[in-house]
A and B are shown apart, each in its own frame.
Chain A
């Protein structure tokens, strides 16, 4: 079955450590996204990528970095510069090329930094 997989489901880190969240899709989608969701808040876009080897900052990119070396993979690194990293992180993909393409989400990674 095609889908989008995030790992791990839960992640705990100490403050000051960088951490990388994995996102893999086998839907052959061109576009991939990273969102952050905080309690009572809407999803906020961190980074997105329309094509391999290219990505753009979203609304809240500070303290995060991404890479898109393969079409299937879009890992997100939460750096020590991110002031409030504890959140629910959602990766998504879409066919791209059209604003009508809905998003398909992974099952999320819940990051806790203490």
Chain B
């Protein structure tokens, strides 16, 4: 089983739709979780950290389910500018070398 798995997509949705991505992780000792956004041929940029209690930032909601070992990202009212690849990142508690990136889920929002 891969350490961090994401559905590669692409997810094709119309503007205004709600879309959700999941990311599963294999190591139950994982401590920190992040979602990054990567535009085509650009660097990843931090979208949001994922906290145990769940967190929301505008149209974006991130949740963590430790029992089932997955995190999720919900995007409401999709915009054309949301089109990108969304990367899930998981770390163990020993830091530096243990950040593990998923391969990303591609989102395409169409008019």
Contacts and interface: CB of A to CB of B under 8 A. Distances in A.
Interface footprint category on A: 20 to 34
Interface string B73-111: 000000000000001010111111111111110000000
B95 A98 contact: yes
Given A99-B91, A99-B94, A102-B34, A40 B42 contact: no
Nearest to B100: A42
A103 B46 contact: yes
Interface string A38-81: 00111101001010000010100000000000000000000000
Contacts of A88: 41
Given A42-B100, A50-B96, A102-B34, 6 more contacts: A31-B96, A41-B103, A42-B102, A42-B104, A96-B96, A106-B43
B4 interface: yes
B32 A107 contact: no
